[in-house]
Amino acid sequence: MTKNSPTFLATTALSEFWDTSQSLLFLGEWCTPHHTQDIWQSLNAQKLSRLALEDSQSFSAYSYTLEVYQKLLPQLAEWLNHIHGVHYSLRYWKIIIGPFLLWYIQVVYDRFLHLKAAYTQYPEIKTIGLSSDSYLTPMDTFEFYLLATESDAWNLQLFTQIMEFSFVSPESYRDVSWENEIKQRLKMQNQQPIYKKMTKIKINMLRFFSYFRAKKAIGMYFCGLSNKNIFRLWALSNFRVFPIVQMSHKPPQKKHKLDLGGREKIMDFSIEDDFSRLILNTLKINLPLNFVENYREEAVYSEKCFPYRANMVVGAGWNPDDRFKFWGAKMAEHGAKIVDIQHGGGYGTHGYSAREFLERDNCDAFISWGWKNGHDVIPLPSISACEKYRIHAKKRRKENDLILWVANEVPRYLLSIENSLHVYSGKKSYTDLQARFARKLLPSVFEKVTMRVRPFSKHVYQIKKELPTLNVYQPNDKDCFFEQLTKAKIMVSDNLQTTFLYSLAFGIPTLLFGENELDQINQEFRHYFEGLSKVGIYHDSPESAADMLNKVMTNPLDWWQSAHVQAARQTFCHHFVRITPDWLRDWANRLVTT
């Protein structure tokens, strides 16, 4: 790419929305994915300088978007009560629409800041927008999540809407077909659980049980317990804890036509600041159909799928699951306690996190994997770690030479504001960090490395471009991470996700690296990471981690099994991925007294 003063703004990777006869300004890394390098590399183009961009991941950005969320949520709840003729509490609507609303505000703010930087530098720049006839409204929170993080067409829609309201309207417009997005939508709509006859009988027994003991029943959803341990927990809790299993029913016919007249009334909210008005203006199209046109059908369908009654609802991963949120919110209206469970790694360590805020703000209590921060947090052993440890830890093979490098999948577009260890502003910076680590390794060490990516990773092409000789393993969705982990001589992680915690908990020699990121850790828990740093587990640069791997690879157990390393590991695991021998009893005792 060359660097003449740009006259055309490319906001998308869809090249049909570029005017290649002009000098281009690419708005972000998402515009230039590696697999289309042959298209854009020779163009007269440059990328928007990060120096010109306000940090959409900063604490001030987080605080501002949270302020907007807390201002808009009550008015949106009141409006939804009005249009649906119901009188639910603010908490009911917060459980149902809160995750979408905060994510949406943060998505719009990130895209707004990019456009602001571009128009500040080049106020006369032109662009091509998406025709309003092509606009697509998400069906629900989960589809919004997918569109916002990966869809070029939907992000182009959002950029177009922001430009028209806050900057300069595009010079011209074009349509898109939404072929991939519609295929994805149809696939999601057709996904229904299929049960054998005996399983259906068991589910109906659970339903009867929940009604019979409704005043004392504790329902657990998506918690990772094996069938054997579900029964044991039921018995240990004096038959109060039961699993919530979604029943299989034909979904209702979905409406796709917007009630534009009703949605237009969103603009009547008593909001004066320009950014909040931008949010409302774009919500007229982008507010999911689940909350407006399809609300009544979805509420009825949710009760059919979850025909239970409970005095306490315990679950993990609520945020994108509208069907479960509809039912959980209804239970909360009837007085049930809502308890959320930590869902993966990174919790408790954030300086600030939209994900963690939403999960903790929407519940009466939050169960962590060992850490405690605030009166609402209940530290308990990690169910998933305890379950997996029981199955896999004894399979450890110490004679192998495999260096297992577990990579994360970075979304192409930002969804939420996080100040957690290893949040990258785009795929390029993440790949650069990985490349620096790999290039510092000795050839004899590098050849033993296998990078494991996610089953459906879109990151592989870029890795292969940067590191063509690296062995990259992309499993299918049935391949077990734990089988590979127990074969590893040492595990390397470039992200503080669940896999890093499992490796530490299982006692696998483990390295974690980032870049100058200790300051991003929640100050209350920073000393745990400093403890890992002192013994060589955590490294604040990829080069330092590579040097450590080069040093210990011949016999990592000499380093790993030393008393000071194990003391640091065990202290960290006790607070962030706790495993105890009698963990089911710990859970039963705590749930019945919450």
- Planar angle of CA 62, 68, 74, nearest 5 degrees: 130
pLDDT of residue 196: 76
Q: In this structure, what DSSP letter does residue 291 have?
A: G
Sign of CA dihedral 443, 449, 450, 452: negative
User: Number of folded domains in the chain?
Assistant: 4
Q: Are residues 279 and 414 in the same domain?
A: no
The reply to whether 567 and 444 lie within a common domain is yes
Q: Is the pLDDT of residue 385 over 80?
A: yes
Please give the structure tokens belonging to residue 77.
Answer: 């709840």
- Are 115 and 181 within one domain? yes
Is residue 56 over pLDDT 90?
no
Both 442 and 472 in one domain: the answer is: yes
Whether 341 and 483 map to the same domain: the answer is: no
Is residue 226 located within the same domain as residue 168?
A: no
Same domain for 317 and 394? no
Residue 541 lies in a domain: yes
Q: Is the pLDDT of residue 2 over 60?
A: no
Question: Does position 423 have pLDDT exceeding 60, yes or no?
Answer: no
The encoded tokens of residue 328 equal 């959980």
Instruction: Kindly tell me if the per-residue pLDDT of 44 is higher than 70.
Output: yes
Position 160 scores a pLDDT of 99
The answer to whether residue 301 is domain-embedded is no
Phi then psi for residue 307, to 5 deg, are -85, 55
378 and 397 share a domain? no
Answer yes or no: is 460 within a domain: yes
The pair of structure tokens assigned to 356 is 């963690």
d(CA 266, CA 260): 10
Residue 57: is its pLDDT beyond 90? no
Mean pLDDT value across residues 416-425: 67
- The closest alpha carbon to 69, from 97, 92, 96, 88, belongs to 97
> Same structural domain for residues 586 and 566?
no
Residue 223's pLDDT is 84
Can you tell me the distance from the alpha carbon of 592 to that of 312, in angstroms, rounded to the nearest whole number? Answer: 10
Q: Is the pLDDT of residue 427 over 60?
A: no
Q: Report yes or no on 300 lying in a domain.
A: no
In this predicted model, what pLDDT tens digit does every residue of 225-252 receive, in sequence order?
888 999 999 999 999 999 998 887 778 7
- pTM for this model (two decimals): 0.94
- CATH number of 312's domain: 3.40.50
Query: In 3D, which of 331, 345, 362 has the Cα closest to residue 244?
Result: 331
Give the residue-averaged pLDDT of 139-162: 98
Is residue 266 situated within a structural domain? Answer: yes
| 459-501 pLDDT tens trace | 888 898 889 999 999 998 656 889 899 999 999 999 888 999 9
**Same-domain pairing of 17 and 126:** no
Higher pLDDT, 235 or 37: 235
Q: Provide the pLDDT for residue 478.
A: 59
Query: Which pLDDT score, from 0 to 100, does residue 227 have?
Result: 86
Other Cβ atoms less than 10 A from the Cβ of 241: the count is: 24
Which residue do the tokens 């740009």 mark?
6
My answer on whether 263 and 146 are in the same domain is: yes
Instruction: Give the model's pLDDT for residue 421.
Output: 56
Domain boundary among 35, 52, 69: 52
Instruction: Out of 57-71, 113-127, 213-227, 321-335, pick the least confident.
Output: 213-227
| Residue 516: predicted pLDDT | 80
Q: Is the pLDDT score of 365 beyond 80? A: yes
CA 483/CA 556 separation, integer angstroms: 20
Q: Check whether residue 270 and residue 378 sit in a common domain.
A: no
Q: State mean pLDDT over 289-318.
A: 94
Local confidence band at 65 (pLDDT 50, 70, 90 cut-offs): very high
Asked whether residue 299 is assigned to any structural domain, the reply reads no
On the question of pLDDT at 564 being above 80, the answer is yes
Query: Is the CB of residue 346 less than 8 Å from the CB of residue 420?
Result: yes
Q: Which is higher by pLDDT, 36 or 446?
A: 446
Q: Decide if pLDDT at 590 tops 60.
A: yes
Mean pLDDT of 514-542: 92
For residue 31, the enclosing domain spans 8-52
